[in-house]
Amino acid sequence: MQAFRADIFHSPERGRIERIPDALLSVGDDGAILSVAPCPDTAPPDLVDLRAHGVLIPGLVDLHIHAPQFPQLGTALDVPLEEWLFRYTFPLEARYADLDFATRVYDALVRRLLANGTTTAVYFATIHGPASLRLAETCLALGQRALVGRVAMDHPEGCPEYYRDADPETAIRDTADFIDAVRALPGNSLVEPVVTPRFIPGCTDEALKGLGRLAAETGAPVQTHCSESDWEHTHVLDRCGMSDTHALDHFGLLTRRTVLAHSGFIDGVDMDLIRARGSGVAHCPLSNSYFAGAAFPLRRALEKSVRVGLGTDISGGPSDFLLDVARNAVTASRMLESGVDPDRPAADRGRPGSRIDFRDAFWLATTGGADVLDLPVGFFAEGRQFDAVLIRPPEPALQPMSDDNLLQQILMCAQPADIQRTWVAGREV
Ligand SMILES: [Zn+2]
């Protein structure tokens, strides 16, 4: 058992921030929180007092990361999605046939994300089984909670010849083998395999159907891209005669365990279906600024009780720090609300009632992401896993600060260097 004395902030429900300035948190050997409460006058011996070093917040949950794209983070942002894939991204991803290269990149990425406070990560890898398994092994060895997908992509027109599954059978069989391999990793209680059709344009109907069946047979979670850009959304409408959301449902890929990246162009009917299936959305506002052509109607989705969390979308978004994405979710919602074209009159420039605030953003980065994954993390309570980040307030207190403002300043201004320590399942990483 371990005991921590800390100044904790968390958001068990959207819109509500709770602070316990002097909390006692005890954690069992399995990483589960045994109790969390204000510290009694006589504190038990052997506790670790964290209060002088910052505030303790729940670990950050990043719902959408392309691990192989880490080497091009912050670059390749100059062309639309459909060009970006063929010019920059498919050539880079094809290099993961080289296991040594994969090992080097994945080790660097997982270390960086843990240092940035990302305690749970949802990854796309590549089509290569050995390299994808290496990513799962790296998360396990370094102690990051993760969902990892070997990417399935077999469409002869949607994928280049040098980087695709030979046929639908290969896409399905290699995915099934990957699921077995991850589940068989010794001592694995942290990493789960994910059925990962890249997106509808990259997959044949046969592959999508087979992967839907595989998800049902194995109970594995699913991740894919949904209505990401004008091009992608229109492509699916033309090919399937329905939206991404409805097409994915038709292929059996819209489950309680599905994470849909982006979903910028979903309408109210799509939202109702996503909600009915219990799937979740990985909102990636930074990436959307470069590749979507529109802002995801986040507030509308939240008000319709669609489950939503945040994603960096490395490297579609040029940051590997989830708090950058959280503050950008606030910014994007404000831009959607006000509109952006100064030549239009203010009254018809934007979409009223679209904004979220820092409380929502903090919830999305922690509890919202955990809820999408049905994982017992995201806030501090008995029975939940101790995934936590000790973070130093970014500015010295130059004036008295309310609880709300202290958290707001952390959310809006903190940098990776402000993160002091990180724990996953009770283990310091
Ligand atoms: Zn993506």
Q: Tens digits of per-residue pLDDT, 103-113?
A: 999 999 999 99
Fold designation for 2-58+378-428: Urease, subunit C; domain 1 (2.30.40)
| pTM exceeds 0.95 | yes
What is the structure's pLDDT at 397?
74
**How many residues would you count in the chain?**
429
Residues with CB under 5 A from ligand 1 (ion): 261, 313
Q: Tens digits of per-residue pLDDT, 230-282?
A: 999 999 999 999 999 999 999 999 999 999 999 999 999 999 999 999 999 99
Q: Are 415 and 394 in contact (CB under 8 A)?
A: yes
What is the structure's pLDDT at 398?
81
Fold designation for 60-373: TIM Barrel (3.20.20)
| Euclidean distance between CA atoms 157 and 58, whole angstroms | 43
Question: 316 CA to middle of ligand 1, Å?
Answer: 7
Q: Where in the chain is the domain with CATH 3.20.20.140?
A: 60-373
Q: Are strands 60-66 and 55-58 parallel, antiparallel or unpaired?
A: unpaired
Q: Tens digits of per-residue pLDDT, 348-393?
A: 999 999 999 999 999 999 999 999 999 999 999 999 999 999 999 8
Q: Where in the chain is the domain with CATH 2.30.40.10?
A: 2-58+378-428
Question: 64 CA to middle of ligand 1, Å?
Answer: 6
Question: 196 CA to middle of ligand 1, Å?
Answer: 11
Question: 52 CA to middle of ligand 1, Å?
Answer: 39
What is the structure's pLDDT at 271?
98
Question: 341 CA to middle of ligand 1, Å?
Answer: 28
Question: 88 CA to middle of ligand 1, Å?
Answer: 14
What is the structure's pLDDT at 45?
82
| Euclidean distance between CA atoms 120 and 259, whole angstroms | 14
